[in-house]
Structure 1
Amino acid sequence: MTCIIIEDEIPAQEILVSYIHKIPDLEIKGVFNSPIKANTVLKKENIDLLFLDINLPTISGLNFLKTLSNPPKVIMTTAYANYAAESFEYESIIDYLLKPFSFERFLKAINKLDTKQQLNTSIIKTDVLEITQNEDAVFINVDKTLHKVDLNSIIYVQSDRNYVTVVTKINSLTFIDSLKKWNNYLKKDHFIQVHKSFIINLNYIEKVTGNIVYINQQKVPVGKTFKETLFQKIKPIN
């Protein structure tokens, strides 16, 4: 797995390099102090992972990310916690490391990437097969196995480019599909899209803080265009 670092502080660069060297399957293709210098490598090389600071010279890390048409997976590194909610708006960002961070926290972020890659190795193109007229359940065909999924057991559905992950109380299934299609499957009142990449089951919401929904011990971002509809659904009393 190849990666590059975009970080303008030398001590932070050195910490990232030392952590990366402890991961056998992770190869550094470059360390840069500005996005402009890294842009050439991103265009020429097949980079799997980008460690990206937010406060950078010339252009911020998040604004630079907007310029990439097909960005690699991204782990944000910053000293400012107030950017976390905004970072969740980007599909390519898999984690947000708040400086200073330990190797244990760094490894947790890397493992998120590894888990997603392992899931993708068994993904096949699939159709979702309805099994009842009232749409209470579906069959999902993943890796030549039909999995029956009770729609009410779905906690949330997440999209990542051409893939969809359906997370239930029992397991999660990842396959090639679109979130738009799942909006049609999940027409029940207790399902709502809260982000361009997420549909959630309102019955599993634990709390809402700012632009984050806590659902089944997971943080799900709320997009600006979906927030008003969400609050209309949950109807806070004050």
Structure 2
Amino acid sequence: MKLKCLVIDDDPMICDLVKHFCSKLEEIEYCLSANTGNDGLQVLSQQKFDVLLLDYHLPDMTGQSILEIRSQNIPVIMITSEKDFAALAFDYDEIVDFLVKPLHFDRFKKAINRVHHGDSNSKSILQDDNDICYIKDGNKYVKVNYNDIHFLRSEENYVAFVLHDKTILSLIPLKNVEALLPSHFKRVHRSFIVNLNKVEKTTLEEITIGSRQIPISQKYKKEFFEILNNKLL
């Protein structure tokens, strides 16, 4: 099924950019736009959409007001210029992701993919940009720099994000997290993903990161050591 999109943003250039991004994705049938909250609500009342891209700051009302009174209960991707607002936005179950201005196509595509594939666990780790993510810890989101994550450990339906000074436990399968991580994170075991930048020492059987020893399984051993050899070159 192709997605019908509506973007509500008071900046015509943002609306045009979102429409341009949408035109590049096969998953999207079309994208309409509105520049005020009232205009957006009127469009929502007249036509059915599959995803709403919503600016938080509008000239006549806030994006939060639209979330409260809109007629369609559809997935929402928030658009904001305030990075720290992102975690607060997820008080609403309908919000599946957020985009921080200036918008970039690769990040936009990931957000649309979350809607298109209906990933119910995707909100456990939210990407801000190439360096920052928000990890859901209980009923709050914790802002984390990817470089501060040493490794990830699977604990049944949870993932433990192990940092230097703390561990964040989030309800999401490890396989779902793996697809969201930057390229310097690699699976080395069915229960472990490591940050290659944090590897201090390795043998054929295990990796040392700080005081922790992480096993390397046979399934992932060849790819892991090929990557290490390339880094040495």
Normalized against structure 2, the TM-score is what?
0.51
Q: 2: distance between equivalents of 1:80 and 1:8?
A: 16
Deviations 1:41-83 (A, max 9, x none): 2122111101100110111112211113542111111111121
- 1:63 is matched with which residue? 65
- Return closer, same or farther for 1:12/1:56 CA change in 2, 3 Å cut-off: same
Q: CA RMSD in A?
A: 3.3
Asked whether 1:43 is paired with 2:19, we answer: no
The aligned residue for residue 28 of structure 2 is 26
The alpha-carbon distance between structure 1 residues 203 and 114, as it changes in their structure 2 partners (threshold 3 A), is closer
Q: Give me the identity figure in percent.
A: 28
TM-score (norm 1): 0.50
1-structure distance, mates of 2:14, 2:31: 17
AA of the residue aligned to 2:139: V
Q: Deviation above 6 Å: which 4+ runs of structure 1? A: 200-203
Question: 1:94: which partner in 2?
Answer: 96
| Residues 74-102 of structure 1 deviation map (CA, whole Å, 9 limit, x = unaligned) | 11111111211211111111110001121
Corresponding residue of 1:194:
139
Q: Which residue of 2 aligns with 1:75?
A: 77
Assess, with a 3 A threshold, how the Cα gap between structure 1 residues 103 and 202 changes in structure 2: closer, same or farther: closer
CA separation of 1:206 and 1:38: change in aligned 2, threshold 3 A: same
Specify the alignment match of 1:106 in structure 2. 108
Q: 1:6 aligns with which of 5, 8, 14?
A: 8
In the superposition, relative to structure 1, how do residues 205 and 116 fare at CA in structure 2: closer, same or farther (>3 Å)? same
May I ask how many residue pairs the two structures share in their alignment? 140
Q: Give the partner amino acid of 1:60.
A: T
Q: Which runs of 5+ in 2 are unaligned?
A: 124-136, 141-155, 178-233
Check 1:85–1:42 CA distance in 2 against 1; reply closer, same or farther (3 A cut): same
